[in-house]
Amino acid sequence: MTATAVRFAPSPTGLLHVGNARTALITWLWARHSGGTALLRLDDTDTERSTAEFAEAIERDLAWLGLGWDRRARQSDRSDRYVAAIAGLKEAGFLYPCYETPEELALKRKQQLQRRLPPLYDRAALNLTAQDRRRLEAEGRRPHWRFRLVHEPIEWTDLVRGPVHFLGADLSDPVLIREDGRPLYHLCSVLDDIDFGITHVVRGEDHVANTAAHVQMFQALEAEPPAFAHLPLIVDAEGKGLSKRLGSLSLAHLRDDEGLEPMAVASLLARLGTADPIEPFASLAPLVDSFSFGRFARAAPKFDQEELSRLNARILHETAFADAAGRLAALGLAGADEAFWQAVRPNLSRMSDVGTWWQVVHGAVPVFADDPELAGIAADTMPPEPWDHETWGQWTTTLKSASGRKGRALFRPLRLALTGREDGPELRLLLPLIGHARAAARLTAAAGAATVK
């Protein structure tokens, strides 16, 4: 059996968003699950819109998600190969020159739509004589070249969609070469997939008609088409396409502005639209193990930002100190140790929330005059250090009888005085971190404040 070889083929014309990141992840999971190789290919034939910055951003975003690649390629490096293939395809009669301008083609499409006809290319250029072509070229027109599809059934068994059936006659002959001679996506993609021995192409279902044309192109190039998996496109909670919101759903935004964990994004995207439960995973390994194309449903999966936030919190709550330490240091909290992490971890929704709790432990906190008398008694009965996780329980038992307060009347004012907040991490864990000196100062401040009625 041939080893699996897959590719993820983004165009460096924009940032990766949850839609194409999902394609990348699923492609990669399949490669790792099947013990195959994963190629990162930059589809950068559109030189006007492709930039080095977007190429770098794509690399960075994929690395953030934890996806490593065995091979890399970019289409801009392979022009010679495309030129040679074009010559062969022309010679074998698979391509024909067309002279319509974009405006003329748009007008044709408009007229077809008005007549409720599918907007397919009408193949008018096939009727041009050599003389017609000379006349058009004398006008200064340069041809673009289309691949002549054979009007017969095109069929494959899709790994997600099952049996797929197209008729060649239902498709427009794809344009493979521009007026300026440069090859376009369809040709480069098929040639690359052949040359890199790609065995499985995973892409969004918006490409399914392209795939049908590609199947015939593989045949024209005397290659066996790979297996195809077309994923239904993600929609929002109302069932609408994500295209308008994609800016806010870029990986860069989720990472830099939302402060989300890569494994929250990966956990959601790997399982979205599958029969498997969406759960927080700490690493990609279990997702690799459980991967199967057979688990994907045909229906469009809904992307829910709330679900992503919930996963993010659950992942943080399980993150070990060893995995968090570097991130804490990067946030400027070099002094944050394991005890701090264990205390605050259950109260994090985002990693950046640690700053709030660091401030609660080490910084100045607002003074609350909720129950100054209790604060005074607490200050007087503070046990001597060293403090550990038992200290809080012992101290509050003493305070209960010393103050005559219990339950909420005891714990709420104490928390307010010690942390300046109504809620937060367990005081049992927080108290030793705050320490005697700061706790004493905070209680004394609260005891001295006038009660606000």
The distance of closest approach from Cβ of residue 86 to ligand GLU in the complex, given in angstroms and rounded to an integer, is 19
Closest approach, Cβ 45 to ligand GLU, in A, equals: 9
Length of the chain, in residues: 453
State the minimum distance, in angstroms, from the CB of residue 148 to ligand GLU. 21
Binding residues for ligand GLU, rule: CB under 6 A, are 9-11, 43, 189, 201, 203, 207
Burial 287-308 (b: 16+ CB within 10 A, else e): bbeebebeebeeebbebebebb
CB of 124 to ligand GLU, least distance (A): 28
Q: How far is the CB of 225 from ligand GLU (least distance, A)?
A: 13
> 120 or 184: whose CB is closer to ligand GLU?
184
CB of 41 to ligand GLU, least distance (A): 8
Q: Based on CB atoms, which residue is closest to ligand GLU, 9 or 98?
A: 9
Compute the least distance from the CB of residue 76 to ligand GLU, in Å: 13
Nearer to ligand GLU, 211 or 267 (CB): 211
The token pair at 83 is 């030129």
Count the Cβ atoms, other than its own, within 10 Å of residue 70: 12
Nearer to ligand GLU, 189 or 391 (CB): 189
CA angle 381/384/390 to nearest 5° reads 90
In the complex with ligand GLU, the residue whose CB is nearer, 11 or 267, is 11
Closer residue to ligand GLU (CB): 50 or 274: 50
To ligand GLU, the closest distance from the beta carbon of 32 in angstroms equals 19
Shortest Å, Cβ 8 to ligand GLU: 8
Give every CB contact of residue 110 below 8 A, 6+ residues apart in sequence. Answer: none
What is the nearest approach in angstroms of ligand GLU to the Cβ of residue 279?
Answer: 28
- Residue whose CB is less far from ligand GLU, 97 or 232: 232
Phi, psi of 6 (to 5 degrees): -125, 165
Cβ closer to ligand GLU: 189 or 396? 189
Nearer to ligand GLU, 207 or 327 (CB): 207
C-alpha distances in Å from residue 355, one per residue of 153, 288, 291, 374: 62, 34, 37, 29
Q: Which is nearer to ligand GLU, 49 or 165 (CB)?
A: 49
Contact 338, 322 (CB under 8 A): no
Q: What is the 3-state secondary structure (H, E, C) of the chain?
A: CCCCEEEECCCCCCCCEHHHHHHHHHHHHHHHHCCCEEEEEECCCCCCCCCHHHHHHHHHHHHHHCCCCCEEEEHHHCHHHHHHHHHHHHHCCCEEEECCCHHHHHHHHHHHHHCCCCCCCCCHHHHCCHHHHHHHHHCCCCCEEEECCCCCEEEEEECCCEEEEEEHHHCCCCEEECCCCCECHHHHHHHHHHHCCCCEEEEEHHHHHHHHHHHHHHHHCCCCCCEEEEECCCECCCCCECHHHHHHHEHHHHHHHCCCCHHHHHHHHHHCCECCCCCCCCCCHHHHHCCCHHHECCCCCECCHHHHHHHHHHHHHHCCHHHHHHHHHHCCCCCCCHHHHHHHHHHCCCHHHHHHHHHHHHCCCCCCCCCHHHHHHHHHCCCCCCCCCCHHHHHHHHHHHHHCCCHHHHHHHHHHHHHCCCCCCCHHHHHHHHHHHHHHHHHHHHHHCCCCC
Q: State which residue, 148 or 203, has the beta carbon closest to ligand GLU.
A: 203
CB of 27 to ligand GLU, least distance (A): 9
Residue 14 or 435: the one with the smaller Cβ distance to ligand GLU is: 14
Q: How far is the CB of 138 from ligand GLU (least distance, A)?
A: 36
Residue 412 tokens, joined:
């709420």
